Structure 1
Protein backbone atom coordinates (compact mmCIF):
# COMPACT_ATOMS: atom_id res chain seq x y z
CA UNK A 1 0.00 0.00 0.00
CA UNK A 2 1.38 3.44 -1.00
CA UNK A 3 1.66 5.86 1.94
CA UNK A 4 -0.78 8.77 1.73
CA UNK A 5 1.67 11.37 3.07
CA UNK A 6 3.86 11.69 -0.10
CA UNK A 7 0.72 12.20 -2.20
CA UNK A 8 -0.52 14.96 0.11
CA UNK A 9 2.85 16.69 -0.02
CA UNK A 10 2.88 16.52 -3.85
CA UNK A 11 -0.65 17.98 -4.02
CA UNK A 12 0.28 20.81 -1.66
CA UNK A 13 3.35 21.69 -3.71
CA UNK A 14 1.32 21.67 -6.94
CA UNK A 15 -1.31 24.00 -5.49
CA UNK A 16 1.35 26.33 -4.15
CA UNK A 17 2.99 26.55 -7.59
CA UNK A 18 -0.34 27.52 -9.18
CA UNK A 19 -1.39 29.99 -6.48
CA UNK A 20 0.26 32.95 -8.21
CA UNK A 21 -1.83 32.71 -11.42
CA UNK A 22 -5.49 32.02 -12.23
CA UNK A 23 -6.65 28.56 -13.18
CA UNK A 24 -6.69 28.04 -16.93
CA UNK A 25 -3.89 30.51 -17.64
CA UNK A 26 -2.12 27.94 -19.79
CA UNK A 27 -5.24 27.52 -21.96
CA UNK A 28 -6.24 31.18 -22.36
CA UNK A 29 -3.54 33.82 -22.95
CA UNK A 30 -6.10 36.53 -22.19
CA UNK A 31 -7.53 37.19 -25.64
CA UNK A 32 -10.36 34.61 -25.63
CA UNK A 33 -13.63 36.31 -26.54
CA UNK A 34 -12.05 39.61 -27.53
CA UNK A 35 -13.36 39.49 -31.11
CA UNK A 36 -16.92 38.72 -29.98
CA UNK A 37 -16.85 41.44 -27.31
CA UNK A 38 -15.53 43.94 -29.85
CA UNK A 39 -18.21 43.03 -32.40
CA UNK A 40 -20.91 43.34 -29.75
CA UNK A 41 -19.63 46.82 -28.86
CA UNK A 42 -19.99 47.84 -32.52
CA UNK A 43 -23.46 46.34 -32.91
CA UNK A 44 -24.69 48.01 -29.72
CA UNK A 45 -23.35 51.40 -30.81
CA UNK A 46 -20.78 51.75 -28.04
CA UNK A 47 -18.00 52.18 -30.61
CA UNK A 48 -18.02 52.94 -34.34
CA UNK A 49 -17.45 50.38 -37.07
CA UNK A 50 -14.10 51.84 -38.10
CA UNK A 51 -12.90 51.94 -34.50
CA UNK A 52 -14.15 48.41 -33.92
CA UNK A 53 -12.36 47.02 -36.95
CA UNK A 54 -9.20 48.93 -36.11
CA UNK A 55 -9.31 47.58 -32.54
CA UNK A 56 -9.39 44.07 -33.95
CA UNK A 57 -6.58 44.77 -36.38
CA UNK A 58 -4.25 46.23 -33.73
CA UNK A 59 -5.09 43.40 -31.30
CA UNK A 60 -4.68 40.50 -33.70
CA UNK A 61 -1.84 41.85 -35.89
CA UNK A 62 1.17 44.02 -35.05
CA UNK A 63 0.43 47.32 -36.86
CA UNK A 64 3.96 48.72 -36.30
CA UNK A 65 7.06 48.40 -38.48
CA UNK A 66 10.37 49.92 -37.33
CA UNK A 67 13.31 51.14 -39.41
CA UNK A 68 17.09 51.62 -39.23
CA UNK A 69 18.41 55.13 -38.57
CA UNK A 70 17.89 57.60 -41.45
CA UNK A 71 16.44 54.85 -43.67
CA UNK A 72 13.20 53.68 -45.23
CA UNK A 73 14.61 50.21 -45.98
CA UNK A 74 12.58 47.17 -44.92
CA UNK A 75 14.50 44.38 -43.21
CA UNK A 76 13.36 40.74 -43.01
CA UNK A 77 11.42 41.28 -39.80
CA UNK A 78 9.60 44.29 -41.26
CA UNK A 79 8.64 42.34 -44.38
CA UNK A 80 7.32 39.47 -42.26
CA UNK A 81 5.20 41.89 -40.23
CA UNK A 82 3.83 43.53 -43.37
CA UNK A 83 3.02 40.11 -44.85
CA UNK A 84 0.92 39.34 -41.77
CA UNK A 85 -0.79 42.72 -42.06
CA UNK A 86 -1.58 42.02 -45.71
CA UNK A 87 -3.14 38.63 -44.94
CA UNK A 88 -5.43 40.27 -42.40
CA UNK A 89 -6.30 43.19 -44.69
CA UNK A 90 -7.21 40.86 -47.56
CA UNK A 91 -9.94 39.33 -45.37
CA UNK A 92 -11.81 42.65 -45.36
CA UNK A 93 -12.13 43.97 -48.94
CA UNK A 94 -14.68 46.56 -47.74
CA UNK A 95 -12.10 48.39 -45.60
CA UNK A 96 -9.54 51.06 -46.47
CA UNK A 97 -6.25 51.39 -44.59
CA UNK A 98 -3.77 54.21 -44.04
CA UNK A 99 -0.09 54.08 -43.15
CA UNK A 100 1.41 56.74 -40.89
CA UNK A 101 5.17 57.35 -41.06
CA UNK A 102 7.21 58.54 -38.07
CA UNK A 103 10.84 59.37 -37.27
CA UNK A 104 12.92 59.98 -34.19
CA UNK A 105 13.94 63.50 -33.10
CA UNK A 106 17.32 63.56 -34.86
CA UNK A 107 17.38 65.95 -37.83
CA UNK A 108 15.28 68.87 -39.00
CA UNK A 109 11.47 68.80 -39.02
CA UNK A 110 11.31 69.17 -42.81
CA UNK A 111 13.79 66.33 -43.41
CA UNK A 112 11.98 64.05 -40.97
CA UNK A 113 8.61 64.83 -42.55
CA UNK A 114 9.91 63.59 -45.91
CA UNK A 115 11.62 60.58 -44.31
CA UNK A 116 8.45 59.57 -42.51
CA UNK A 117 6.56 59.75 -45.77
CA UNK A 118 9.14 57.55 -47.52
CA UNK A 119 8.77 54.97 -44.77
CA UNK A 120 5.00 54.96 -45.13
CA UNK A 121 5.33 54.59 -48.89
CA UNK A 122 7.74 51.68 -48.46
CA UNK A 123 5.19 49.84 -46.32
CA UNK A 124 2.41 50.63 -48.78
CA UNK A 125 4.43 49.18 -51.67
CA UNK A 126 5.12 46.03 -49.67
CA UNK A 127 1.44 45.64 -48.83
CA UNK A 128 0.60 45.89 -52.53
CA UNK A 129 3.34 43.33 -53.29
CA UNK A 130 1.55 41.04 -50.83
CA UNK A 131 -1.73 41.22 -52.72
CA UNK A 132 -3.51 44.25 -51.22
CA UNK A 133 -5.37 46.46 -53.72
CA UNK A 134 -3.50 49.80 -53.92
CA UNK A 135 -6.79 51.72 -54.19
CA UNK A 136 -7.57 50.69 -50.62
CA UNK A 137 -4.36 52.33 -49.38
CA UNK A 138 -4.92 55.83 -50.74
CA UNK A 139 -4.71 57.65 -47.40
CA UNK A 140 -1.00 58.11 -46.80
CA UNK A 141 0.11 60.50 -44.05
CA UNK A 142 3.44 61.34 -42.41
CA UNK A 143 3.72 62.59 -38.84
CA UNK A 144 7.47 63.08 -39.12
CA UNK A 145 8.92 63.61 -35.65
CA UNK A 146 5.77 65.02 -34.02
CA UNK A 147 4.54 61.85 -32.26
CA UNK A 148 7.49 60.05 -30.63
CA UNK A 149 6.76 56.97 -28.52
CA UNK A 150 9.87 57.67 -26.45
CA UNK A 151 10.82 61.31 -25.87
CA UNK A 152 14.55 61.58 -26.46
CA UNK A 153 16.72 63.79 -28.62
CA UNK A 154 18.92 60.82 -29.51
CA UNK A 155 18.42 57.92 -31.85
CA UNK A 156 15.50 55.68 -30.89
CA UNK A 157 14.33 52.83 -33.12
CA UNK A 158 10.90 52.65 -31.47
CA UNK A 159 10.23 56.15 -32.83
CA UNK A 160 11.41 55.27 -36.35
CA UNK A 161 8.24 53.46 -37.31
CA UNK A 162 5.10 53.23 -39.39
CA UNK A 163 1.65 52.44 -38.04
CA UNK A 164 -1.03 50.84 -40.23
CA UNK A 165 -4.64 51.68 -39.32
CA UNK A 166 -8.17 51.23 -40.63
CA UNK A 167 -9.17 54.46 -42.40
CA UNK A 168 -12.77 53.72 -43.40
CA UNK A 169 -14.70 51.73 -45.97
CA UNK A 170 -14.44 51.55 -49.74
CA UNK A 171 -17.95 52.94 -50.22
CA UNK A 172 -16.61 56.33 -49.17
CA UNK A 173 -18.93 56.40 -46.16
CA UNK A 174 -17.78 56.62 -42.58
CA UNK A 175 -19.79 53.47 -41.79
CA UNK A 176 -21.00 50.42 -43.69
CA UNK A 177 -24.68 50.21 -44.58
CA UNK A 178 -26.99 48.97 -41.84
CA UNK A 179 -26.43 45.25 -41.32
CA UNK A 180 -23.38 45.18 -43.61
CA UNK A 181 -20.87 45.14 -40.73
CA UNK A 182 -22.59 42.07 -39.27
CA UNK A 183 -22.44 40.44 -42.71
CA UNK A 184 -18.69 41.10 -42.92
CA UNK A 185 -18.01 39.56 -39.50
CA UNK A 186 -20.40 36.65 -40.15
CA UNK A 187 -18.54 35.90 -43.40
CA UNK A 188 -15.28 35.69 -41.45
CA UNK A 189 -16.75 33.31 -38.86
CA UNK A 190 -18.19 31.05 -41.58
CA UNK A 191 -14.82 30.92 -43.35
CA UNK A 192 -13.02 30.00 -40.13
CA UNK A 193 -15.58 27.27 -39.40
CA UNK A 194 -15.25 25.84 -42.91
CA UNK A 195 -11.48 25.65 -42.48
CA UNK A 196 -11.98 23.78 -39.22
CA UNK A 197 -14.40 21.32 -40.83
CA UNK A 198 -11.93 20.58 -43.60
CA UNK A 199 -9.21 19.74 -41.11
CA UNK A 200 -11.59 17.60 -39.02
CA UNK A 201 -12.95 15.85 -42.10
CA UNK A 202 -9.57 14.79 -43.46
CA UNK A 203 -9.31 11.09 -44.16
CA UNK A 204 -7.03 9.29 -41.70
CA UNK A 205 -4.12 7.41 -43.24
CA UNK A 206 -4.94 3.86 -44.25
CA UNK A 207 -3.76 1.17 -41.85
CA UNK A 208 -1.94 -1.76 -43.40
CA UNK A 209 -1.42 -5.13 -41.80
CA UNK A 210 1.32 -7.66 -42.55
CA UNK A 211 0.30 -10.67 -44.63
CA UNK A 212 1.60 -14.19 -44.44
Structure 2
Protein backbone atom coordinates (compact mmCIF):
# COMPACT_ATOMS: atom_id res chain seq x y z
CA UNK A 1 0.00 0.00 0.00
CA UNK A 2 1.32 3.44 -0.91
CA UNK A 3 2.12 5.79 1.96
CA UNK A 4 -0.36 8.66 2.36
CA UNK A 5 0.72 11.92 0.76
CA UNK A 6 0.16 14.06 3.84
CA UNK A 7 1.99 17.36 4.32
CA UNK A 8 2.00 19.36 7.55
CA UNK A 9 1.96 23.13 7.08
CA UNK A 10 2.79 25.23 10.12
CA UNK A 11 2.26 28.98 9.96
CA UNK A 12 3.85 31.14 12.66
CA UNK A 13 3.60 34.82 13.44
CA UNK A 14 6.69 35.92 11.52
CA UNK A 15 6.14 38.42 8.75
CA UNK A 16 5.55 36.73 5.42
CA UNK A 17 2.18 35.05 5.99
CA UNK A 18 1.79 35.06 2.19
CA UNK A 19 4.28 32.17 2.02
CA UNK A 20 2.14 29.87 4.16
CA UNK A 21 -0.99 30.79 2.24
CA UNK A 22 0.74 30.16 -1.08
CA UNK A 23 2.10 26.78 0.09
CA UNK A 24 -1.47 25.73 0.87
CA UNK A 25 -2.69 27.01 -2.52
CA UNK A 26 0.06 25.17 -4.37
CA UNK A 27 -0.70 21.90 -2.58
CA UNK A 28 -4.39 22.32 -3.39
CA UNK A 29 -3.65 23.11 -7.06
CA UNK A 30 -1.23 20.17 -7.40
CA UNK A 31 -3.85 17.73 -6.14
CA UNK A 32 -3.18 14.40 -4.52
CA UNK A 33 -1.87 15.82 -1.24
CA UNK A 34 -3.60 16.00 2.13
CA UNK A 35 -2.56 19.20 3.87
CA UNK A 36 -2.63 19.45 7.67
CA UNK A 37 -2.61 23.06 8.88
CA UNK A 38 -1.51 24.46 12.24
CA UNK A 39 -1.55 28.22 12.81
CA UNK A 40 -0.08 29.84 15.90
CA UNK A 41 -2.00 32.63 17.63
CA UNK A 42 0.61 35.17 16.44
CA UNK A 43 0.06 33.87 12.87
CA UNK A 44 -3.60 34.82 13.14
CA UNK A 45 -2.54 38.31 14.24
CA UNK A 46 -0.05 38.58 11.37
CA UNK A 47 -2.74 37.45 8.92
CA UNK A 48 -4.89 40.42 9.95
CA UNK A 49 -1.92 42.80 9.64
CA UNK A 50 -0.49 41.59 6.32
CA UNK A 51 -3.30 40.15 4.24
CA UNK A 52 -6.82 40.68 2.99
CA UNK A 53 -7.36 36.92 3.16
CA UNK A 54 -9.57 35.88 6.07
CA UNK A 55 -8.78 33.19 8.60
CA UNK A 56 -11.69 31.14 7.27
CA UNK A 57 -10.27 31.39 3.73
CA UNK A 58 -6.83 30.21 4.87
CA UNK A 59 -8.35 27.33 6.83
CA UNK A 60 -10.46 26.35 3.80
CA UNK A 61 -7.26 25.82 1.79
CA UNK A 62 -6.25 23.00 4.14
CA UNK A 63 -7.72 19.51 4.12
CA UNK A 64 -7.31 19.13 7.88
CA UNK A 65 -7.03 21.88 10.49
CA UNK A 66 -5.46 21.33 13.90
CA UNK A 67 -5.56 23.40 17.04
CA UNK A 68 -2.23 24.96 17.98
CA UNK A 69 -2.68 23.66 21.52
CA UNK A 70 -3.66 20.07 20.63
CA UNK A 71 -0.44 18.17 21.31
CA UNK A 72 -2.48 14.95 21.13
CA UNK A 73 -3.45 15.47 17.48
CA UNK A 74 -2.71 12.77 14.90
CA UNK A 75 0.31 14.66 13.56
CA UNK A 76 1.88 14.65 17.05
CA UNK A 77 2.62 10.93 16.67
CA UNK A 78 5.34 9.28 14.64
CA UNK A 79 2.99 6.42 13.79
CA UNK A 80 0.84 8.86 11.78
CA UNK A 81 2.61 8.84 8.44
CA UNK A 82 3.37 12.11 6.67
CA UNK A 83 5.74 13.23 3.94
CA UNK A 84 7.11 15.88 6.27
CA UNK A 85 6.44 19.43 7.36
CA UNK A 86 7.02 22.95 6.15
CA UNK A 87 6.87 25.94 8.51
CA UNK A 88 6.15 28.99 6.37
CA UNK A 89 6.90 31.53 7.57
CA UNK A 90 8.99 30.31 10.49
CA UNK A 91 9.72 32.76 13.27
CA UNK A 92 13.11 32.81 14.99
CA UNK A 93 11.22 31.90 18.18
CA UNK A 94 9.80 28.74 16.60
CA UNK A 95 13.13 27.75 15.07
CA UNK A 96 14.85 28.24 18.43
CA UNK A 97 12.23 26.14 20.22
CA UNK A 98 12.68 23.37 17.62
CA UNK A 99 16.45 23.56 18.19
CA UNK A 100 15.80 23.08 21.92
CA UNK A 101 13.53 20.06 21.24
CA UNK A 102 10.58 21.75 22.90
CA UNK A 103 7.11 20.40 22.21
CA UNK A 104 4.63 22.48 24.17
CA UNK A 105 2.47 23.33 21.15
CA UNK A 106 1.49 21.38 18.05
CA UNK A 107 3.82 23.18 15.61
CA UNK A 108 6.80 22.31 17.81
CA UNK A 109 5.62 18.76 18.52
CA UNK A 110 4.94 17.99 14.86
CA UNK A 111 8.35 19.40 13.89
CA UNK A 112 10.02 17.29 16.57
CA UNK A 113 8.20 14.21 15.28
CA UNK A 114 9.46 14.90 11.76
CA UNK A 115 13.03 15.14 13.04
CA UNK A 116 12.84 11.98 15.16
CA UNK A 117 11.21 10.03 12.32
CA UNK A 118 13.79 11.40 9.83
CA UNK A 119 11.11 13.07 7.72
CA UNK A 120 11.74 16.33 5.87
CA UNK A 121 11.30 19.48 7.94
CA UNK A 122 11.72 22.75 6.06
CA UNK A 123 11.81 26.06 7.90
CA UNK A 124 11.17 29.17 5.82
CA UNK A 125 12.94 31.35 8.37
CA UNK A 126 11.82 34.98 8.35
CA UNK A 127 14.23 37.03 10.39
CA UNK A 128 16.81 39.64 9.49
CA UNK A 129 19.37 40.72 10.41
CA UNK A 130 20.58 37.63 12.20
CA UNK A 131 22.52 37.62 15.46
CA UNK A 132 24.81 34.79 16.54
CA UNK A 133 22.04 33.08 18.53
CA UNK A 134 19.91 32.80 15.39
CA UNK A 135 22.85 31.43 13.41
CA UNK A 136 23.68 28.89 16.12
CA UNK A 137 20.05 27.73 16.24
CA UNK A 138 20.06 27.47 12.44
CA UNK A 139 23.15 25.27 12.68
CA UNK A 140 21.56 23.15 15.42
CA UNK A 141 18.33 22.42 13.55
CA UNK A 142 20.36 21.68 10.43
CA UNK A 143 22.47 19.16 12.36
CA UNK A 144 19.22 17.56 13.60
CA UNK A 145 18.02 17.13 10.01
CA UNK A 146 15.94 20.21 9.23
CA UNK A 147 16.42 22.39 6.18
CA UNK A 148 16.60 26.12 6.86
CA UNK A 149 15.51 28.07 3.80
CA UNK A 150 15.15 31.80 4.29
CA UNK A 151 12.75 33.06 1.59
CA UNK A 152 15.40 34.82 -0.46
CA UNK A 153 13.95 35.31 -3.94
CA UNK A 154 15.69 34.46 -7.16
CA UNK A 155 15.40 37.15 -9.79
CA UNK A 156 16.33 35.07 -12.85
CA UNK A 157 12.59 34.50 -13.36
CA UNK A 158 12.12 38.25 -13.82
CA UNK A 159 9.15 38.46 -11.45
CA UNK A 160 6.66 41.22 -12.25
CA UNK A 161 5.00 41.26 -8.83
CA UNK A 162 5.39 40.34 -5.19
CA UNK A 163 2.84 37.58 -5.78
CA UNK A 164 5.14 36.03 -8.39
CA UNK A 165 8.10 36.19 -5.96
CA UNK A 166 6.04 34.54 -3.22
CA UNK A 167 4.77 31.83 -5.58
CA UNK A 168 8.24 30.96 -6.91
CA UNK A 169 9.76 30.82 -3.41
CA UNK A 170 6.87 28.77 -2.02
CA UNK A 171 6.96 26.35 -4.95
CA UNK A 172 10.73 26.06 -4.62
CA UNK A 173 10.39 25.26 -0.89
CA UNK A 174 7.96 22.44 -1.68
CA UNK A 175 10.31 21.31 -4.45
CA UNK A 176 13.16 21.03 -1.93
CA UNK A 177 10.86 18.73 0.07
CA UNK A 178 10.39 16.52 -3.00
CA UNK A 179 6.98 17.91 -3.95
CA UNK A 180 6.87 19.06 -7.57
CA UNK A 181 3.85 21.32 -7.95
CA UNK A 182 4.74 22.23 -11.52
CA UNK A 183 5.00 25.89 -10.48
CA UNK A 184 8.80 26.26 -10.27
CA UNK A 185 10.50 28.22 -13.02
CA UNK A 186 13.68 26.16 -13.37
CA UNK A 187 17.00 27.64 -14.40
CA UNK A 188 18.29 26.19 -17.64
CA UNK A 189 15.17 24.20 -18.48
CA UNK A 190 13.03 24.94 -21.49
CA UNK A 191 9.45 25.98 -20.89
TM-score class normalised by the smaller sequence: under 0.3
After TM superposition, the score normalised by the length of structure 1 is 0.22
| Larger helix percent | 1
When normalised by structure 2's length, the TM-score is 0.23
